[in-house]
Amino acid sequence: MPESLKSFINISDLTEKQLYDLFDIADSMQEILDKKEPCDICKGKILATLFYEPSTRTRLSFECAMLRLGGKVLGFSDASGSSVSKGESLADTIRTVAGYSDVITLRHPHEGSARVATLYSHVPIINAGDGGHQHPTQCLLDLYTILKKKNTFAGLNVMISGDLKFGRTTHSLAIALGRLGANLYFASPPGLEMPDYIIHQLESDLHVQPIIFHDLREHIGIADVVYMTRVQRERLGEMEYLKYRGSYVLGNETLHETKSDAIILHPLPRVGEIKPEVDADPRAIYFEQAYNGVPVRMALIATLLGVI
């Protein structure tokens, strides 16, 4: 159990041991969910969900996690209905809401906002996305899904595809996977490659040498995990869009080239980059991945509240 965990802001806050401990707890949470019986682990506890930006999946899966634990939820899904619209600072909102809850999950457009929030709260803060910077519970559930399906990260060929420059949640996923021993394949259109500082960190600190290329189909046959993300069409020139759309929109044709036991992941929401025809393929497990947010977030909440 990650006993020293006070808040969860960045995936790299967790030691490898803490990470695996958390996944063990998530497994036991899944057992609780499978029983379909009421659970009172967090009875009397309150989760505050402060979402300054829209979200379905993240907010509702946090709420589901807390309700499944027997706890309760308050908060807002939109800053316009809050004192923020009167100009209140994040620090003041956090200090106030910390008095109304036992744990706070925060989504905020500014990078570093979750870290700042920890300075003003005596209850744990969970970063549910701070601008383009970090979305560490997404990273947690991505890793958990891979581990459940593949049993290990060591030696696994993980292809991360899409806009790797601006799709910043892929950055922490890449670092985490590198740390855990996976082989990394980065597929992105020209101009949207993984930033140099991430490559440098992988190579220098973690001694991982990622393979970098432009057409997903070039290496898709070797991938154990294909992690799709969105490429916003407006970031590409028309010529490049036409050239690469087959690469960054996954259909059955491309899927045909992947290993029979590969898994296809996507953080969702998707807007066209995986065709609906793919959904029926057993390798397409992005909805199972989304579902895994529940046991993982249950594990995180219960750990931070010190109730297990």
What does the binding site for a copy of itself look like in residue numbers (CB under 8 A)? 36-39, 43-44, 46, 48, 51, 54-57, 60-61, 63-64, 67-68, 70, 72-78, 80-88, 91-93, 95-97, 99-101, 268-271, 276, 287, 290-291, 294
Nearer to a copy of itself, 43 or 110 (CB): 43
Nearer to a copy of itself, 204 or 276 (CB): 276
**CB-based contact 71:46 (threshold 8 Å):** yes
Task: Return the structure tokens found at 210.
Answer: 């990622």
Phi, psi of 126 (to 5 degrees): -115, 125
At closest approach, how far in Å is the CB of 59 from a copy of itself? 8
Nearer to a copy of itself, 12 or 232 (CB): 232
Nearer to a copy of itself, 76 or 227 (CB): 76
Separation CA 258–CA 35 (nearest Å): 35
**CB-based contact 120:98 (threshold 8 Å):** yes
Nearer to a copy of itself, 290 or 302 (CB): 290
On the CB side of 236, CA atoms within 13 Å amount to: 22
Nearer to a copy of itself, 202 or 290 (CB): 290
Q: What is the DSSP letter of 204?
A: I
Separation CA 153–CA 296 (nearest Å): 18
Nearer to a copy of itself, 37 or 238 (CB): 37
Separation CA 108–CA 134 (nearest Å): 11
Q: Which residues have C-beta within 8 Å of that of residue 102, sequence separation ≥ 6? A: 45, 46, 47, 71, 123, 305
Q: What is the DSSP string of 81-123?
A: GSGGGGT--HHHHHHHHTTS-SEEEEEESSTTHHHHHHTT-SS
Nearer to a copy of itself, 41 or 222 (CB): 41
Task: Return the structure tokens found at 130.
Answer: 């701070």
Separation CA 186–CA 169 (nearest Å): 14
Separation CA 286–CA 263 (nearest Å): 9
Report strand pairing: 183-187 vs 211-213: parallel
